[in-house]
Amino acid sequence: MKKIMLSMLAAMCMLGLTGCGNTDFSSAPAETTVQQEVQTEQSAEDTEAEKPDEDKAVSGQTEKQPENPDTAESSGKDTIVVYFSATGTTMEVAERIANITNADLYEIIPAEPYSDADLDWNDDDSRTTIEMSDPDVRPAIDNDTVNLDSYSTVYIGYPIWWGDAPRIMSTFVEAHDFDGKTVIPFCTSGSSPIGRSVENLAAQAGSGNWLAGCRLDYGISDDDLTDWIKSMN
Ligand SMILES: Cc1cc2nc3c(=O)[nH]c(=O)nc-3n(C[C@H](O)[C@H](O)[C@H](O)COP(=O)(O)O)c2cc1C
């Protein structure tokens, strides 16, 4: 199965997104809405080699847990940043987006935390390898009590796993109504673009004005992050 996944991953990396402009995914297929460029052809082995350091990628569940918003009362803010982060990278970017946009912040916490062994992409039998090989898997969320009703803009952040969004993101978007909301996806990854993850999540959500979103570099400058946010609005 790893060979199949690596082939998919290599194909994804050959269709890199650039620009990350404000593109509506809700009404047209990705191929016609996303600015794509053909990147230098690389082998599956190269792609795997581009993944982040083992130390970082398999360091376990996020240690810092932000306070999730009290869903019983509205904060009065019209933007929320929802994210899942297994090893803290996406969390940091999400926190920065929330600061810049004065948004609420909501972390999707798995009912069963991902261990280091679960995150081992080199193991054919690891939890994440098994989950990502089956598009119908829906890992349970521990704390999905967030009410999106009062928000008009929802940023959704996640790491790229095997070229796609982690299945727990599908659990989340299928459980919420995005009707009338602008949804802005973002991801972090070793190198893979946000790619098909946006199309997949938008289709699973079935509602909302999904923008093309963007892969954001860990360590992106404040200026570049602010520019990207402005380009989304
Ligand atoms: C199971 C697994 C699969 C991954 N697959 C990819 C991938 O397909 N492409 C890529 O560039 N990075 C991949 N990565 C690396 C993560 O996307 C990257 O480290 C990300 O920034 C981690 O975010 P987090 O710290 O918020 O969990 C993978 C990591 C894991 C644990």
Report CA(10)–ligand 1 centroid distance (Å): 14
Pick the residue whose CA is nearest to atom 9 on ligand 1.
Answer: 192
Q: Does 198 have pLDDT greater than 60?
A: yes
Q: Does 82 have pLDDT greater than 80?
A: yes
Confidence tier at 9 by pLDDT (50, 70, 90) = very low
Q: Quick one: which of 86, 87, 111, 85 has its CA closest to 98?
A: 85
- pLDDT digit string, tens, across residues 49-69: 333 333 333 333 444 444 566
- pLDDT digit string, tens, across residues 113-150: 999 999 999 999 999 999 999 999 999 999 778 999 99
Report CA(24)–ligand 1 centroid distance (Å): 25
Tokens representing residue 123 in the block: 């193991």
Report CA(195)–ligand 1 centroid distance (Å): 14
Report CA(162)–ligand 1 centroid distance (Å): 7
Pick the residue whose CA is nearest to atom 31 on ligand 1.
Answer: 119
Residue 23, classed as helix, strand or coil, is coil
Atom of ligand 1 nearest to the CA of 157: 26
All domains of the chain in start order, with CATH: 2-232 (3.40.50.360)
Report CA(93)–ligand 1 centroid distance (Å): 14
Pick the residue whose CA is nearest to atom 22 on ligand 1.
Answer: 159
What is the SS3 string spanning the chain?
CHHHHHHHHHHHHHEEECCCCCCECCCCCHHHHCCEEECCCCCHHHHHHCCCCHHHHCCCCCCCCCCCCCCCCCCCCCEEEEECCCCCHHHHHHHHHHHHHCCEEEECCECCCCCCCCCCCCCCCCHHHHHHCCCCCCCCECCCCCCCCCCCEEEEEEECECCECCHHHHHHHHCCCCCCCEEEEEEECCCCCCCHHHHHHHHHHCCCEEECCEECCCCCCHHHHHHHHHHHC
Q: Quick one: which of 63, 51, 54, 52 has its CA closest to 91?
A: 63
Q: Once rounded to an integer, what is the mean pLDDT over residues 94-104? A: 97
Q: Which residues line ligand 1 (CB under 6 A)?
A: 9, 51-52, 57, 85-91, 119, 121, 128, 159-163, 188-192
Atom of ligand 1 nearest to the CA of 126: 1
Pick the residue whose CA is nearest to atom 5 on ligand 1.
Answer: 161
User: Which of 59-73, 93-107, 210-224 comes out lowest in average pLDDT?
Assistant: 59-73
Q: Which pLDDT belongs to residue 68?
A: 62
Pick the residue whose CA is nearest to atom 29 on ligand 1.
Answer: 161
Q: What is the pTM of this model?
A: 0.79
Pick the residue whose CA is nearest to atom 4 on ligand 1.
Answer: 161
